Structures are given as structure tokens and as C-alpha cells.
Amino acid sequence: MRSTAQNISISLVASVTSDDGDKIMSYKVEPLPNSVADLGEAPHWDIATQNLYYVDIVNGKLLRYDYNENKVYHCKIENVSVVGFVVPVEGEANQFVVGAERDISIVEWDGFSETCKVVKVLAQVEQGDEIYDGNRFNDGKCDPRGRLYAGTMRYFEITSSSAEENSTSTMEEAWKLSRITLESLMA
């Protein structure tokens, strides 16, 4: 999400067909202002607040782009060096489900402060199997029913990685983490 060039913009043209015939709409894509992310990922658009939430993976930060203010706010999660995803908790102001290192946690952030903190750990990456010792949570999103789907991957400094070492899990209301396997998808 961060660009080294300051004045880059990209114009895209899309053609949309309607009952009235073809309409041409043009879109302009621009970098966010002062997006202090070194590795920005996992965007989540909150339509109600007109905010775009995303993470700076390598710096353990949550970011919030306020569309109405055209401004980016960010916080460093206390005692977290790597963060994979952020999803606002429905009905809970200032609370977010976050993939923070080897944990899925609830983080509290007012959207303005430069620091935020983990208030509850909900689950941890695969436990009890040394093949997963080098894993961290990476991407995660919720489906329309509110179930979180999150994937793991090796930490950056570990050079080998195979499909067997990575995984995808789902979490429902009871905060029970269930691993998704190819076999469970076929059932």
C-alpha cells in the first residue's frame, strides 16, 4: 500500500453494459496519504464508518484510513512484532480481531492513538506439532455469518516452507479454532 514515488496515480477505464447501452466509467487509483506501512496488507472496508482498516505486517501496526478526512491513523500493537490481518468486531466499538504473530487476539484501539493493546487471546496457531512451530497467522477474513477464516505461514526468517507446514483454520462464536483440510472441504 506504500509507494516510493510520491505523485503516482493510475487511471483505469471500465466499460459497463446496461439496458441503456454502454456506459464508460473512469476510476482514478491513488496512494493513500501518509500511509506509513512498509508492508501494507489485509484491507477491510467498513462501509458504515467509511474507514479502510489494514495492517503493516512487518511493523506490528494497525492502520485506519478515514475516507471523509482523507487521513491515515496508525497504532503499534504493544509487544507484537508481526501482524497478519485485522477485522473489526461487529457491535463492539474500538475492538478488532487480529492475527498477531502466533495468536488470534482481540485488540483494543480508539482509531486515533499511536499505541494499542491485546486485551484477549482467542486462539493460538497449531500447538503440539513441531512442524508448525515456525508458523504465524497471515491472512484472515470473516464470511457473511461472522466466521473467521485465517491462514498460517512460516515466519519471514525461516527459509523453507511447504504446503504441509501452512494451514487454514476457521473460528466461530465459541472461539474454537478448527483446522480446515482438503478432506474437510470435500465432505
97 within some domain? yes
- CA torsion sign, 152 to 87 to 38 to 3? positive
The model's pTM: 0.71
- Find the CATH number of the domain harbouring 134: 2.120.10.30
Q: How many CB atoms lie within 10 A of CB 30?
A: 11
Q: How many domains does the chain have?
A: 1
Binding residues for a divalent metal cation: 41
User: Are 119 and 135 a contacting pair, CB within 8 Å?
Assistant: no
Binding residues for substrate: 136, 138, 157
46 within some domain? yes
Binding residues: 41, 136, 138, 157
Question: Which domain, by its residues, includes 137?
Answer: 26-154
pLDDT digits 0-9 by tens, 8-51: 333 333 444 455 555 555 667 777 888 778 888 899 999 999 99
**What's the pLDDT score for residue 97?**
94
Judged on CB neighbours under 10 Å (0-12, 13-18, 19+), 125 is buried
Mean pLDDT by 10 residues, the chain (187 residues): 37 45 63 82 91 94 94 95 94 94 94 96 78 79 87 63 48 49 39
116 within some domain? yes
**What's the pLDDT score for residue 24?**
56
